[in-house]
Chains A and B, each alone.
Chain A
Amino acid sequence: MKKSFTPVVAGLSLLLAGSVANAAGELNLYNWGNYTSPELIEKFEKKFDVKVTITDYDSNETALAKVRAGGHGFDMAVPSHSHVPIWVQEGLVTNARVDQMENFKHVDDQWRDPVWDPGRQYSAPWQWGSVGVIVDTSVYSGDINTSSLVFDPPEELIGKINVPPEMLDVIHTAVLYLGGEACTGDKDLLRKVRDKLVEAKPKWKSMDYGMIEKFAGRDVAASLYWNGAAFRAKEKNTDVRFGYPVEGYGLWADAVVLLKDAKNVENARAFMNFIMEPENAALMSAFARYANSIKGSEAFMPDDMKTAPEVIIPEEFRAAGQFYPTCAPEVQKLYTAIWTELQK
């Protein structure tokens, strides 16, 4: 059996070798599925004569597990902001000194020193978004930049509100709404948060995902939700708008890191620098429909994105956005207790 097995394996490796590398170099990017612009990759391949291979993952946990195990063959990965510190602490990534790269000058001030990568040494910005309120303005025409629409809803919206089943986003937003700070351990405030959520729940219609379709079909008139979905829902229902709660709202970001066991370090560094160029950042946004962090990229974006408030946060609402930190275990327990009670 062993004898007949060897040629097969040899044949297979030939088959694989044949499929790789006519280009001078290689680059292996490990990214979320359906998130990498093919145009961007093509442009990079031509410019640097490098064959880029993209492999998909579907969660931060899967990506972390595979890279931790080693032997994965990837050069770069794109973890979410909440996971970047874990990758750094576990020594899975190289300090690429992104802040010293040529195109770093294009990075918007807001993104030059994020809390999860101080000094922006390890990670190059990929794309980001926010968690605000989507509102159907044909149902409610008042001010939409407030989370009171969800927690103390006006008459018109009662029974037409959705809240996504995302514990951290919902509770953090409620904490900020009641004047607290994210991950607060203040039990009096958390008690108020619990009471507010329990009181508001009967006024909601659902706790669900899939809001693009729901707004398009006018089944829901307001929802705590992500900006990218609001942008897509507006394509179907022109009355849809996205509000940035002045009481405070959450931000998320994904960022490119250079892996410690990368084989194509120079190509990876070239790629990190490449995506910080405004024209290339615009290609990323045009494909995945999320905002990037590069100044001047708007000029290269598709017309519908250039001025969209869902994509580019209006100046006056910028300050209220924040990255939620990872809460202490005892606070997480309190959050979970509130969440469990809300689910009853």
Chain B
Amino acid sequence: MYAVRSGPVLVKIANMMFKQKFSVTRMPGFSVVAMICFFALYMPLAPLVIYSFNEGNNIALWEGFSLRWYGSAWENELVQGAAIRSLIIASFASVFATIFATMAALGTTRTKPYRGQMTIYAMINQPLMVPEIVTAVALLILFALIKQATNYHGFAYLIIAHTAFCIPFAYLPIKARLEGMDNTLEIAAADLYARPFKTFRRITLPLLLPGIFAGAMLAFVISLDDVVITEFVKSAGQDTLPTYMLGQLRRAITPEINAISTVLLGVSVLLVTLIFFMSRKRGN
């Protein structure tokens, strides 16, 4: 009697427990661990940002607040040139990478499952797995051959290289968006005699846009921050902001480097925040 009556209650309790058990945020010590992680992630950046406002020449000796180094970085022609180059490369690379990534995402989600789909998926994401230095050395050797053969030393090498390693970063948010999108609308469009391209233009693409923007911005940030591959691929006079900064570290460093780093950090945080809001909007 007792057992029969308590049965549904037990199930209810079990259900509640089951549900709670899978909410990580309710695990004991979650907030402590989270705080430690955030601390470890962001603490090292604090001195960098603080000393960018240093009045003196030192990167570890506080001599009062000033925006002096921001001014000197802004007026430094080498920094200007490097920053403009970084932006040009990142713009082109992110646009190309996003176009390829969108095509790849459509090709791996909006089709009937086919043989080798997993292989293709793995191949697209390869740049995420291969150590950057391996890609860099490979590109160095390949491009050196092409440079010798064609005598062309322009920006195209950097843009091609950046496009290549940005593709997976643009691909992941776009693919996620496509997988989350209900394809009944596309089926409905097809039922109403829309040609595949029209369906894509009028239905798929508008719905996919937030994912495409998120992918493009992620690609942009990744290209903007790249050091290793750029260092090996760049030709004469093609220093980007990160490789310029790396060069500075060898000799006397001034808080100018902190100022440039802080601005780069700010741009990255801004873009990532935008990506976050964009993906939240699509969630709602």
Contacts and interface: CB of A to CB of B under 8 A. Distances in A.
Q: Give the interface SS of chain A, mostly helix, strand, loop or mixed.
A: mixed
A324 interface: no
Nearest to A288: B251
Interface stretch (B6-14, B136-144, B212-220, B260-268): B136-144
A225 B269 CA distance: 38
Given A62-B231, A71-B146, A16 B58 contact: no
**Which size class do A's interface residues fall under?**
35 or more
Contact of A210 (B60, B92, B232): B60
A119 interface: no
B52 to A, nearest CB: 16
A58 B231 contact: yes
A56 B247 contact: yes
Given A12-B92, A35-B251, A71 B244 contact: no
A168 interface: no
B45 to A, nearest CB: 18
- Residue among B59, B140, B141 having the largest count of chain A Cβ atoms under 10 Å: B140
A34 B236 contact: no
Contact of A70 (B144, B231, B243): B144
A58 B250 contact: yes
A34 B147 CA distance: 27
A156 B153 CA distance: 59
Contact of B246 (A20, A58, A71, A232): A58
B155 A12 contact: yes
A139 B224 CA distance: 47
A74 B246 CA distance: 19
B238 interface: yes
A47 B146 CA distance: 34
A71 B252 CA distance: 31
A69 B138 CA distance: 10
A324 B66 CA distance: 44
Nearest to B140: A69
Given A66-B140, A70-B144, A74-B236, A33 B60 contact: no
B237 interface: yes
B155 A34 contact: no
A57 to B, nearest CB: 7
Interface string A52-71: 01111111001001100111
A216 interface: yes
B34 to A, nearest CB: 32
A212 B252 CA distance: 9
B234 A55 contact: yes
Nearest to A52: B237
B93 to A, nearest CB: 12
A13 B156 contact: yes
A232 B156 CA distance: 41
A12 B156 contact: yes
A16 B239 CA distance: 13
A15 interface: yes
B58 A56 contact: no
Given A12-B92, A70-B144, A54 B237 contact: yes
B154 A55 contact: no
Given A12-B155, A13-B156, A33-B244, A217 B234 contact: no
A74 B236 CA distance: 6
Interface in A113-147: none
B236 A66 contact: no
Interface string A10-38: 00110111001000000010101111000
Interface string B92-104: 1000000000000
A70 B193 CA distance: 57
A72 interface: yes
Given A69-B140, A216-B58, A289 B252 contact: yes
A210 B92 CA distance: 39
A169 interface: no
Interface string B216-235: 00000000000000011011
Interface string B149-180: 00011111001000000000000000000000
Interface string A86-127: 000000000000000000000000000000000000000000
14 contacts: A12-B156, A20-B237, A33-B250, A34-B252, A53-B237, A56-B246, A56-B247, A57-B247, A65-B137, A66-B232, A70-B147, A71-B145, A216-B61, A289-B252
Given A35-B251, A70-B144, 13 more contacts: A16-B155, A34-B250, A54-B237, A55-B237, A69-B141, A71-B143, A72-B147, A72-B236, A73-B236, A212-B58, A217-B60, A217-B61, A236-B61
What 3 A-B pairs have minimum CB-CB distances, sorted nearest first?
A: A33-B247, A71-B147, A56-B247
